[in-house]
Structure 1
Amino acid sequence: MNQSVLLPVGAVALIGAAVTGAVVIWSAGGSSDTDALALRPDDLEIVAHGSQVYAENCASCHGADLAGQPNWRAAGPDGRLPAPPHDASGHTWHHDGDTLFRLTKYGVGQLIGDPDYGSNMPAYDGILTDAEIIAALSYIKSTWSRDIRDQHNAMETQE
């Protein structure tokens, strides 16, 4: 083969290896355009790692107990919303895993299509790996009651 063919083939092989290595992140069950994010709240190893990732990257705003910041529904003097809780009192569980993943990785502005949206929530792309984001979200989900987890699971299977 000539080099002009080898480079694209090599890139495809690397991408394939990366996707294969990330199988824990994406669940099989549809075309690549419709694959859903699979949080793993029952996987004790992932949840333990997620607890550590959460403590190091999220707890300073969202609280060690996942309770969020006070008055999280009201914008502060800077016009930005405080960090919401991730426990049952918040709205995290109202969003599917894919939305939570994209919000965490790319930030609120990109998620809603408004690059000028002001948020104190940083985008973790380049800071946390996809597996670390999945672990943190899996940890959060693991703390929800069985009823809320069941509602979240049902919502994700409807999409």
Structure 2
Amino acid sequence: MTRRILLLGLGLLTIAAGTAVVLAQADETGGPTTTDFPVDIVAGAELYGQYCASCHGANLEGQENWRSPGADGRLPAPPHDETGHTWHHADSLLFTYTKLGGQATLAAQGMDFDSGMPGFGEQLSDAEIWNTLSYIKSTWPERMRETQAERTAADLAAQGE
């Protein structure tokens, strides 16, 4: 556990430089919960622009009234900047939500939720998902990155990893 916390801390220190390395763990879908390879924040920014910005905003600002369901009953896309809640979640949830989509991820946790978030597992490799998430995380203030890293460490500890 100390090694994971140390590696997670080192990962946070290197995010600003564009590369982070942390331990690999598998979640219930068989996908990794963290990376075991260098991430490329520049590539992540490009992927974000290509796959995420149309809903979550070019500046990670999300859609208007993102906390209130639209006419279809779905919540609009939330911001991924510091004004949203993305940083409240552990890496495992962020990865799975991106790979499988919101509805499938929450269904695996026993929740019936009509999420508008599609899964990108067919379009993006695991490494590309991590690059995109690393880009998003790189835009947060340090305090939020630290809080999110603590939640990821607690999630790994709860999984017995």
Q: TM-score, normalised by structure 1?
A: 0.73
Quote the Cα distance in structure 1 between the aligned partners of 2:89 and 2:36: 12
1-structure distance, mates of 2:46, 2:139 = 14
Runs ≥4 in structure 1, deviation > 6 angstroms? Answer: none
Question: Match for residue 54 of structure 1?
Answer: 48
Does the Cα contact within 8 Å between 1:72 and 1:82 map onto a contact in 2? yes
Q: Which ranges in structure 2 are unaligned for 5 or more consecutive residues?
A: 1-19, 156-161
How well do the aligned residues superpose, as a CA RMSD in angstroms? 2.7
Q: Mean alpha-carbon deviation: is it higher for 149-158 or for 100-109? A: 149-158
Q: CA deviation at 1:152?
A: 1.0
Q: 2:90 and 2:153 mapped to 1: Cα distance?
A: 9
Is residue 2:31 matched to residue 1:37? no
Q: 1:153 to 1:79 in 2, by over 3 A?
A: same
Matches of 2:135 and 2:27, distance apart in 1: 26
Deviation of 1:25 (Å)? 7.9
1:92-131 alignment runs, 5 A limit: 92-113=86-107, 117-131=113-127
What's 2:139 paired with? 143
Q: Give the TM-score normalised by structure 2.
A: 0.72
Aligned equivalents of 2:72 and 2:115: distance in 1?
A: 10
Match for residue 76 of structure 2 among 66, 79, 82: 82
Q: 1:157 aligned to 128, 144, 153, which one?
A: 153
How far 1:117 moved relative to its partner?
A: 3.9
Paired letter, 1:55: G
Cα deviation, 1:102-133, whole Å, max 9, x if unaligned, reads 00000111111169743321111111111111
| CA 108–52 in structure 1, closer or farther in 2 if over 3 Å, else same | same
Contact 2:23 2:36 in 1 (8 A): no
**What SS does the corresponding residue of 1:101 show, helix, strand or coil?**
helix
**What SS is found at the alignment partner of 2:104?**
helix
State the aligned residue count: 131
CA drift at 1:146: 0.7
Task: Give the unaligned 5+ runs of structure 1.
Answer: 1-23
Q: Secondary structure at 2:34's aligned position in 1?
A: coil
> How far did residue 38 of structure 1 move?
3.8
Conserved in 1, the CA contact under 8 Å of 2:103 and 2:117?
Answer: no
User: Alignment identity in percent?
Assistant: 44
